[in-house]
Amino acid sequence: MSDEPDNPFKGTPFEAMFQQFSGAAGAGGTPDLNAIFAQVQQLLSGSTDGKPVNWDLAKDIARKTVSAAGDRSITPADTDRVSDAVRLAEHWLDEATTLPEVSATSAAWSRAEWVENTLPVWQTIVDPVAEHVAGAMGNALPAEAQQFAGPMAGMLRQLGGSVFGAQVGQALGELAGEVVSSSDIGLPLGPTGQAILLPDNVAKFAEGLGLTDEDVRLYLALREVAHQRLYAGVPWLRQHVLAAVADYAAGIEVDTSKIESAMADIDPQNPEAMQEALAGGLFEPEDSEQQKAALVRLETALALVEGWVDDVVRQATKDRMPSAVQLAETVRRRRAAGGPAEQTFATLVGLQLRPRRLRDAANLWAAVRDARGVEGRDELWSHPDLLPSAADLDDPIGFAQHAGELADIDITDFLPDEGPSDQPPTQGDDGK
């Protein structure tokens, strides 16, 4: 008879982990599960409060990342400069879009303030992904281990929450050092109706361009204000974009072989190594048909937002700001190099966004504007069913022509004829 204690997780992704902890044995060599769970518990930092991500840990790591890179406090002069840029941007945009001014206030944020103020939206984005991964880890428990499933599942959930918290915190801390505004990645991360710029990141963006600080600040304010007008003027858009993220998360499938590989290399006495092993691609989702379709929807939605902003800002600056061409090219190069949005989505939800779709969307909106004018372009945001599809992005000119044809249709041609009825008149219809 073997002296090796029975391993209820034998042949599963958790076999290696159980063996690592089986040194905590009770009488007769039988593993002391209380001792094992106590060891695992020591590896878990903080509490997830039943949530799939340890957001306290995420915020702490993000703020420490920001602090380590340097983050000065915002001065009154910073606030005044942002306010002036936003005010002028609103004036310029009045002629470039029919969507009304909504930036009742403006603000200059430090990097730490960006982390603090955008965290609620990140919770909405990331929690669905983490929830599905946590469920996948729990479902990997074998049938013969069901007697231990309760406590083990709880610990796995807490472990996953901590690992996700660390990943999110690191990603957001790094992102805080790059974003120039609250809408820089295309999502409505800041308060509705408030235009936000991050002065230190605006200065970083301007390095090496040979342009005035005023031009760079104004151009980025134009982009921020255009985003604000779009999300405020199209009430359904915010939920439309966030729902696309949630749809993608719903199709997440976790490869349990990654769990097995990670667990085999874990040293239970080394929490840092454990976190590193689990974070090393363990939570990268696998492709599925559902995910591919959801990815197309999300990619298209974000591309349409960014493409519209590109077109609006181009129109607002074409006769006023010669440096806008260079600044637009800088924005494009930033995207092509894997800008903040691409890096963040790849890290947090496994999405690889394609900058090409953003260019296609900008071309489409420009083509629609040429065919239908500014009002006709903006009318397409009146209902989600009117928006261009992913296929339309492949043929901007064709879509613009089709949109122009629709605009020329008289809807009354499709209404019932209001002429004389075929029914005999009722008494009094003939005037008698």
Q: Looking at the domain 49-298, which fold is it?
A: Lysin (1.20.150)
Q: At residue 133, does pLDDT exceed 80?
A: no
**Which pLDDT score is estimated for 140?**
58
Of 253-257, 354-358, 404-408, which has the strongest mean pLDDT? Answer: 354-358
Take residue 315 and report the two structure tokens written for it.
């129109």
**Which pLDDT score is estimated for 30?**
46
Q: How far apart are CA 14 and CA 261, in angstroms?
A: 10
Q: At residue 422, does pLDDT exceed 50?
A: no
Least Cα distance to 305 among 210, 249, 229, 251 occurs for 229
Mean pLDDT of the chain: 77
Count how many residues are written for the chain: 432
- Higher-scoring residue by pLDDT: 346, 333: 333
- Higher-scoring residue by pLDDT: 376, 146: 376
* Helix (H), strand (E) at residue 279: helix 271-279
Question: Residue 343 corresponds to which amino acid?
Answer: Q
Q: At residue 22, does pLDDT exceed 80?
A: no
Q: At residue 37, does pLDDT exceed 80?
A: no
Q: In a 3-state reduction of DSSP, which class is residue 25?
A: strand
**Which pLDDT score is estimated for 112?**
97
Take residue 311 and report the two structure tokens written for it.
């077109």
**Which pLDDT score is estimated for 12?**
45
- Specify the residue for token string 């129109």: 315
